[in-house]
């Protein structure tokens, strides 16, 4: 009887840690699966952001070019 309770404790430990690990391992598989599926079938709208990001500096360049042209024209004139 004496050792029984501690043994019970170890049983709880095995069961508990088993559940926690099983849960997390299944979760890891699902996370990996999900990222594969999402990357294959729903490729990020990230690209759009990049397009947007790259288009802004171009506009800036155009504006800068226009300003410098105007300034040089003004100085010449």
**Which of 40/74 has CB closer to another protein?**
40
Among 40, 46, 58, 75, binds another protein (CB under 8 A): 46
**Which of 42/74 has CB closer to another protein?**
42
What is the SS3 string spanning the chain? CHHHHHHHHHHHHHHHHHHHHHHHHHHHHHHHHHHHHHHHHCCCCHHHHHHHHHHHHHHHHHHHHHHHHHHHHHHHC
Q: Smallest gap, in angstroms, from Cβ of residue 55 to another protein? A: 21
Q: Does residue 51 bind another protein (CB under 8 A)?
A: no
> Where do contacts with another protein occur on this chain (CB under 8 A)?
2, 5-6, 8-10, 12-13, 15-17, 19-28, 30-32, 34-35, 38-39, 42, 44, 46
């Amino acid at each position: 009887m004496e050792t029984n309770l501690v043994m019970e404790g170890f049983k709880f430990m095995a069961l508990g840690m088993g559940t926690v690990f099983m849960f997390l391992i299944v979760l890891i598989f699902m996370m990996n699966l999900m990222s594969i599926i999402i990357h294959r079938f729903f490729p990020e709208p990230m690209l759009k952001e990049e397009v947007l990001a790259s288009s802004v500096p171009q506009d800036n360049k155009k504006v800068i070019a226009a300003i410098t042209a105007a300034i040089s024209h003004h100085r010449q004139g």
